[in-house]
Amino acid sequence: MSEPMDFLLLVRGTGFDVALTIFVIGVVLRLFEIFSLGRGVNLAEPRGREFGPGMRTILTRNVPDPHTFRRQPLTVVIGYLFHIGLLISLLLFVPHIELFKETFGFGWPGLATPIVDAAAVITIIALLAALWHRASNPVMRRITRAEDWLVWLATFLPMLTGYLAYHRMVDPYPLILGLHLLSVELLLVLFPFTKLMHTFTLFIARWYNGAMNGYRGVQS
Amino acid sequence: MANSKTLGESLRRHGVTRRGFLKFCSATASLMALPPTMVPAIAAALERAKRPSVIWLSFQECTGCTESLTRSHAPTVESLIFDHVSLDYHHTLQVASGEAAEAAREAAMHENQGGYLLVVDGSIPLADPGYSTIAGISNVDMLRETAAGAAAIIAVGTCAAFGGLPKADPNPTGAVPVSEIIRDKPIVNVSGCPPIPVVITGVLAHFLTFGALPELDRYGRPMVFYGQSIHDRCYRRPFYDKGLFAETFDDEGARKGWCLYKMGCKGPMTYNACATAKWNNGTGWPVEAGHGCLGCSEPDFWDAGGFYNALSIPTSDVTGTVVTGAVAGAALGAAAALLNRGTQGEAREKHATVTVDDLEKGV
Amino acid sequence: MERLDTIPVVSASSPGSAVGVTGNVLPLLHEIRHALERLARDRDPTVIDLRAIPFAPGDEERLLSLLGRGEVSLVLSALGRSEIRESGYPGVWVVEHYNDAGERIALQIEVTDIPAIARSQVADIEESSTRLNDLLMNDNG
């Protein structure tokens, strides 16, 4: 009778603990590794500063490059819609904020749920469009590896189960809430060992690009 | 004992007019959470209904469920119990009768073999039958014996429905709900700690009226009462959607009656009729009193995390996990860094300078 | 010491505004309006059981005060008291049933020309005809 509840209690307790441990250890380990490798000594005379241009590039690369947009408009549009929708769903939904608050000791204001709901729908549509684009575009298909499908699924499942849970489309509710948590746990476990790490490495890479160009005194 | 007179006859004998009967039917429809359009059907069914015999068994429980039932008011429990059902055995109410009560139970079972309604409150201990006995009979034996001739079983309260408090971790008595012992009888779970009085009488009224059990959800609970979540029926729901929350029990939001999600309200995962049926003769209910829902009608609600933690917060210590993980990750990262430094050093050592001449020789 | 029932209960929100704190009364008023249109067009009556509505504190008072009181008020004495009154909107009736102990067991809005329970019931009419007949027979005899 109470299996869905037992399942929910498991994924809310031990399951979440295990996934979070793997996630944190994995992410810290990989970042530590990247930073500790360092970079070779540049013997050239510096022609500018590294820090300022590095930070600036982190910001300026948020604006899409016009050439990429002309060549692959779909990639750019889907990419932006998906990422913005995902961030809204993840960071501005009050129940999620409560979890962050419990973890880090501080929270922030959330958005009204109809707005988050709309963002979630946009995210899900964008993810489906991304899947279709990846499967139908010859170039995309050529450069897609098994890991890409896995990462897509790991991102899609929390969105889908979250949407179903919020709208109570699965009976009983503890089952779908448990599945939502389980899918998030899968994402957390896969995160450090897949391309999902770009969430963090993206900023390191941008900073290095900007810093290197700054050192050479060129615009980035 | 149950008699053969129909309810219609019995009411008329008591001088109840058709108007009174219609009023009774309206109240019963409202009680059963059925639409008012059902009143004629209810009137027709009640006219023919016969008084069913009811046996009530109490196992590992706190009597809160019986307390709740005896405070139900619509129709008055007296009229329900004494006029419309024949409550032949209720050991808490009859405790002073001793052996006579046990004899009444056996007589009711015998006379109404296969037709009586068995109501159970409390969970059943399996670790040691001696943990809970009545007249020297263990709970599990009494349940099996009494259930054998029952038409249906109503498990009243979260203990009987899902194990409840006795089953809470670490479950010292090995408590189980009725449904884990009896598998060959229809069981209705009327969960809640305690269940809403009108929900208990509503289910009894449904059996009385239609001679059958109401439609049930996945947990065996009547859909009419447990079909929607507290959250979806909550009058404070608009505040949840607008993002307006009470942050503490005495802040501005609490005073303005905003949503209690952050204060640990379990309304989103709880299915019950509190938001509409309310408590204390319709006076109010926990959320109206300014306290979040505990989720008392759900399985394992005692173990489902702190009552004052938001539903989305895991039951484990997340901060501890993050700190431990970060320290472990840093240690492993440092080890990996040393290893990589070694590899880098080796690569540097093996590095040989190549001149243009060397390259040309190679061609 | 003050008795609990001597302490006045003050509702924080003022009745008179249809929206109130939660706005839960508005959809109900719309439902009543649709029911009235159905009644006017198809002679189709509607009963709304207010027990099934998740009211906020003060919502019930707000709804009843918005509906107001009309020309007709009936008191029914059958299995306890019942109050049947027309609201300020003809066709919209408020029906309250109480039990013997004076506790309210049902609160309904009926959108109809007259609530069915206020009519004399066919079975009762037949019986009263018999009874009156018996009375006259006895008197004559």
Q: What is the structure's pLDDT at C9?
A: 57
- Helix or strand or coil: residue B117? strand
Q: Give the pLDDT mean for B256-266.
A: 93
For residues A201 and A191, what is the distance between their CA atoms, to the nearest angstrom? 12
Of B241, B312, B332, the CB nearest to A113: B241
d(CA B130, CA B127): 9
Report chain A's C-alpha Rg in angstroms: 20
Give pLDDT, residue B172. Answer: 94
| pLDDT at residue C15 in the model | 40
Partnered with residue B156 across adjacent β-strands are: B121, B190
Contact B54, B119 (CB under 8 A): yes
Mutation site for B-interface testing, chosen from C63, C105, C108 by largest number of B Cβ within 10 Å: C105
Count of structural domains, chain C: 1
Least confident piece of the model among B46-50, C37-41, C78-82: B46-50
Q: What is the mean pLDDT of residues B190-206?
A: 87
> How long a stretch of residues is chain A?
220
The structure's pTM equals: 0.83
Residue A145 structure tokens = 């590896």
Q: How confident is the model at residue B359 (pLDDT cuts 50, 70, 90)?
A: confident
SS3 assignment, position B194: coil
- C66: confidence class by pLDDT, cuts 50, 70, 90: very high
B110: Cβ contacts below 8 Å, ≥ 6 apart: none
B78 pLDDT higher than 60: no
Strands C81-86 and C92-98: what pairing?
A: antiparallel
Is there an interface between C and A (3+ Cβ pairs < 8 A)? no
> Longest Cα pair distance anywhere in chain C, in angstroms?
69
**Predicted confidence (pLDDT) at residue B1 exceeds the cutoff of 50:** no
pLDDT of residue B72: 63
Please report residues of B whose CB lies closer than 8 A to that of C59.
235
Q: Domain A3-39+64-194 belongs to what architecture?
A: Up-down Bundle (1.20)
- Give the nearest partner residue to B36 out of C24, C47, C105, using CB atoms: C47
Q: Do B36 and C22 touch (CB under 8 A)?
A: no
Residue of B nearest to A111 (CA): B243
Q: In terms of Cα–Cα distance, which of C115, C109, C114 is closest to C51?
A: C109
Among the partner-chain residues B243, B318, B337, the one whose CB lies closest to the CB of A111 is B243
Across the range B155-170, mean pLDDT stands at 94
Residue C93, domain member (yes or no): yes
Question: CB distance from B183 to chain A under 8 Å?
Answer: no
Provide the 10 A C-beta neighbour count for residue A7: 18
Write out the residue range of the structural domain in which residue C82 sits. 16-115
Q: Which residue of C has its CA nearest to B35?
A: C49
Q: How confident is the model at residue C38 (pLDDT cuts 50, 70, 90)?
A: very high
**B175-185: b or e for each residue (b if 16 or more CB lie within 10 Å)?**
bbbbbeebeee
Question: Considering the domain boundaries, does residue C3 fall inside one?
Answer: no
Instruction: Spell out which chain B residues touch chain C, with contact meaning CB-CB distance below 8 angstroms.
Output: 16-20, 22-24, 26-27, 29-31, 33, 35-37, 39, 73-76, 79, 233-239, 256-257, 275-277, 281-282, 284, 288
Which pLDDT score, from 0 to 100, does residue C110 have? 94
- Packing angle, helices B18-31 and C122-140, rounded to 10: 160
What are the chain C neighbours of B75 within 8 Å (beta carbons)? Answer: 99, 105
Return the CATH number of B51-226, one of 1.10.260.40, 3.20.20.60, 3.40.50.700, 1.10.10.10. Answer: 3.40.50.700
What are the residue ranges spanned by the domains of chain B?
51-226, 230-303
Chain C nearest-CA residue for B289: C57
Token digits of residue C42: 């198809």
Determine the straight-line distance between the first and last CA of chain B, rounded to whole angstroms.
111
**Residue C8, pLDDT score:** 61
CATH code of the domain in which C61 resides: 3.30.1370.140
Closest Cα in chain C to B231: C54
Average model confidence (pLDDT) across chain C = 84
Question: B-chain residues within 8 Å CB-CB of C57?
Answer: 257, 284, 288
Q: Is the pLDDT of residue B2 over 50?
A: no
Reported as a pLDDT band with limits 50, 70 and 90, residue B278 is: confident
Query: What is the model's pLDDT at position C7?
Result: 65
Do the bridges between strand B53-58 and strand B86-90 make them parallel or antiparallel, or are there none, so unpaired? parallel
Interface probe, candidates B12, B16, B18, chain C, greatest C C-beta count within 10 A: B18
Residue ranges in chain A whose pLDDT is less than 50: 1
**Measured between alpha carbons, how far apart are the two ends of chain A, in Å?**
62
| pLDDT at C10 (0 to 100) | 52
Query: What average pLDDT does the structure give for chain B?
Result: 85
| Residue with the larger pLDDT of the pair C72 and C54 | C72
State the pLDDT at residue B81: 46
Beta carbons of B318 and A103 less than 8 Å apart:
yes
Q: How confident is the model at residue B8 (pLDDT cuts 50, 70, 90)?
A: confident
| Tens digits of residue pLDDT in A145-193 | 999 999 999 999 999 999 999 998 887 888 999 999 999 999 999 999 9
- pLDDT category at C127 given cuts 50, 70, 90 is confident
pLDDT band for B347, please (50, 70, 90 cuts). Answer: confident
| B192-206 mean pLDDT | 86
More confident of the two residues B244 and A219 = B244
- Mind telling me how many Å the CA of B109 is from chain A's nearest CA? 28
- Residues of chain B contacting residue A27, judged by C-beta atoms under 8 Å apart: 329
Instruction: Give the bridge partners for B6, in sequence order.
Output: B50
Does C138 fall in a domain? Answer: no
Q: Mean pLDDT, to the nearest integer, of B279-292? A: 89
- Which token pair is B5? 């007179």
CATH architecture of the domain with residue range B230-303: Irregular (4.10)
Mean pLDDT along residues C111-120:
91
B236·C22 Cβ contact <8 A: yes
Query: Is the predicted pLDDT of residue B232 greater than 70, yes or no?
Result: yes
Q: Do residues B267 and B288 make contact, with C-beta atoms less than 8 angstroms apart? A: no
According to DSSP, the residues that pair with C111 across neighbouring strands are C46, C92
Say if B284 is an interface residue toward chain A (CB within 8 Å).
no
Residue C94 covered by a domain? yes
